[in-house]
Amino acid sequence: MSIVRTRFAPSPTGRLHIGNIRTALFNWLFARVNSGSFILRIEDTDTARSRFEYELSIYEDLKWLGLDWDEGPEKGGEYGPYRQSERSAIHKAAAVRLVNEGKAYKCYCTKEQLEDLRAEQASAGMPPRYDGRCRNLAPEAMPSNAPFTVRFRVPEKDIRIMDGVHGLLAFDSRNIGDFVIVGSDGVAAYNFAAVVDDALMDITHVIRGDDHLSNTPRQLLLFEALGLKAPLFTHIPLVLGPDKAPLSKRHGSFSIEDIREQGFLPEAVVNTVARLGWNPGEGLMELDELAALFSIEKLSASPSEFDVERLKFYNKAAIQKSRAERLIELSSLSTAGHPENAAQVVEAVKGNASDLKELKELALPFLTEPETGVEEAKELSEPYARAVVKAFREALEGMAEINLDAYKDMVEAVKASTGEKGKRLLMPLRLALTGRHAGIELAGVLRLLGKERAIDRLRKYE
């Protein structure tokens, strides 16, 4: 058996999103479980929309998720170059060969002619399909110095593919029509460039979305015409949103960059995406654990729904599992105020955090002096609140140490002396100590602040 070689071939025309990352992840996992190679290829032939900034974001997102590539930009390799724009001479040579062998031809149809053809077919209720008007042009009928595209001469035949998820699929080439493989600008079309590059890079397996199924028969015809070996294809159903429609921007922002900025950890994203069409089992798993379990045979042929709540669930688990030092770095948490107990603070609050933003909010009152908002200050100015704060400060001053029993004794003492209970008893204390309405349990707040800092904060609001 040949060495497994998979690839992820994104176009740098936008940010990577959940669907892209699932494709990258499944190809990465398949390469790793088979001790193969995972190749990154940048398909940047769409010159009008490709941006170098998007290419850089692709590298950043993959590295953040832990999806390292064995060959590709920044790594190199013996099958390079790994940007399609740098492989144009290779594509051109393959196209010239097909023309010379009579398997492709020059098409001089103008954009206006093709638009008229499509309009005629649409009005007749026919699917759009090139009518082959340039297919058998005699050399003397070819206009000189006129722009042209190169079209593949589609043979009439049945096309069969054994798909990794869908099983045996059949296509009739007569429904395809001669398609463009090189544009009038000399740039190879997607289907042609992908075929040439997959073959010359020895790609053995391609795992991609169902939206590429219509490309597959065209690509198989090109592999055959070029005498090149096709990889084994696996097409997975598209990811759906809550409305059961394919995931898109209308469902919210699901780019990896946005998800990262929302405070999600990479392992939460990986574990959520891994379960879109595959079931590795329960619990938060490391990449190497997922790789050991991965199998194309276990991929689902049914569409899967992206569930934000599942992402939040795995994120909370990832935060609880992470070391405090890592969480401090990921959240860019400022520890300038009290760096000596930053790790202790993060360890204490991380169980209450569902994302890094929330973690930061929970930790900040213990690392910097809290700023009380207008609403909070108004609540603390109420006479009952001032009485509670003062009574608690006096009780705290009489305590030798702060522990759970001492905290309970203080709460009971304040309750007895002020007559307050419930929210009117505990909220003024939380606001005075942290400046926030929510957070970790008050006993934990006192332990993290320590007796002297707690007394200083309470005294401001008596």
Q: What's the CA gap between 397 and 278, in Å, rounded?
A: 58
| Mean pLDDT, rounded, of the chain | 93
3-state secondary structure of 291: helix
3-state SS string for 126-158: CCCCCCCCCCCCCHHHCCCCCCCEEEECCCCCE
220-253 pLDDT per residue, tens? 999 999 999 999 999 999 998 878 877 765 555 6
Burial of 107 (0-12, 13-18, 19+ CB in 10 A): buried
Confirm whether 147 is domain-assigned: yes
Start-to-end CA distance of the chain, whole Å, equals: 78
Is position 331 within any domain? no
Position 79 in a domain? no
The verdict on residue 288 lying in a domain is yes
Domain total of the chain: 3
pLDDT attached to residue 142: 85
Are residues 105 and 193 part of one domain? Answer: yes
Residue 15 within any structural domain of the chain: yes
Query: Residue 334: its pLDDT value, please?
Result: 72
Per the CB < 8 A criterion, the answer to whether 13 and 46 are in contact is yes
Distance CA 316, CA 284 (A): 10
| Judgement on whether residues 91 and 67 belong to the same structural domain of the protein | no
- Considering the domain architecture, whether residues 284 and 419 belong to the same structural domain is answered as no
SS3 call for 235: strand
- What percent of the chain is modeled with pLDDT above 90? 83
Q: What is the CATH number of the domain that holds 35?
A: 3.40.50.620
Nearest-angstrom CA–CA distance, 73 and 53? 14
- Residues whose CB falls within 8 Å of the CB of residue 402, separated by 6 or more in sequence, listed in order: 396, 446, 447, 450, 451, 454
Please give the structure tokens belonging to residue 34.
Answer: 């088979």
Identify whether residues 66 and 144 lie together within a single domain.
Answer: no
Q: Is 92 an annotated catalytic residue?
A: no
**Domain final residue pick, 321, 356, 386:** 321
Taking residue 405's Cβ as centre, other Cβ atoms within 10 Å add up to 10
Let me know whether 111 and 190 are in one domain: yes
Is position 344 within any domain? no
Question: Do both 97 and 222 map to the same domain?
Answer: yes
Where do we find the tokens 């050399």?
A: 139
Structure tokens belonging to residue 238: 């598209």
Mean pLDDT value across residues 140-162 = 92
The reply to whether 336 falls in a domain is no
In terms of Cβ atoms closer than 10 Å to its own Cβ (0-12, 13-18, 19+), residue 298 is exposed
Task: Name the DSSP class of 314.
Answer: H
Residue 338 pLDDT exceeds 70:
no
Q: Is 30 exposed, middle or buried (0-12, 13-18, 19+ CB in 10 A)?
A: buried
Instruction: Name the domain boundary from 183, 202, 236.
Output: 236
- What percent of the chain is helix, strand and coil (3-state, nearest 5)? 50, 10, 40
Range of 57's domain? 1-73+237-321
Tens of pLDDT along 344-389?
999 999 999 999 999 999 999 999 888 888 999 999 999 999 999 9
Same domain, 232 and 257: no
Segment 61-88, tens digit of pLDDT: 999 999 999 999 999 999 999 999 999 9
State the CATH number of the domain containing residue 426: 1.10.10.350
Q: Are residues 231 and 241 in the same domain?
A: no
**Residue 209, token pair as written in the block:** 């979305």
Q: What is the pLDDT of residues 400-451, one digit of tens each?
A: 888 888 899 999 999 999 999 999 999 999 999 999 999 999 999 999 999 9
**108 occurs within a structural domain:** yes
User: What pLDDT, on a 0 to 100 scale, did the predictor assign at position 48?
Assistant: 86
* Tokens read off for 350: 């991380």
Active site residue: 75, 157, 249, 378, which one?
Answer: 249
Instruction: Tell me: do 214 and 99 sit in the same domain.
Output: yes
Instruction: Give me the pLDDT at residue 335, please.
Output: 66
Segment 36-42 mean pLDDT: 98
282 and 216 co-located in one domain: no
pTM of the full structure: 0.90
- Summarize pLDDT for 299-329 with one digit per residue, the tens: 999 999 999 999 999 999 999 999 999 999 9
Q: Which of 184, 217, 236 is the last residue of a domain?
A: 236
* Residue 95 sits in the same domain as residue 211: yes
pLDDT at 140: 80
Residues 221 and 293 in one domain: no
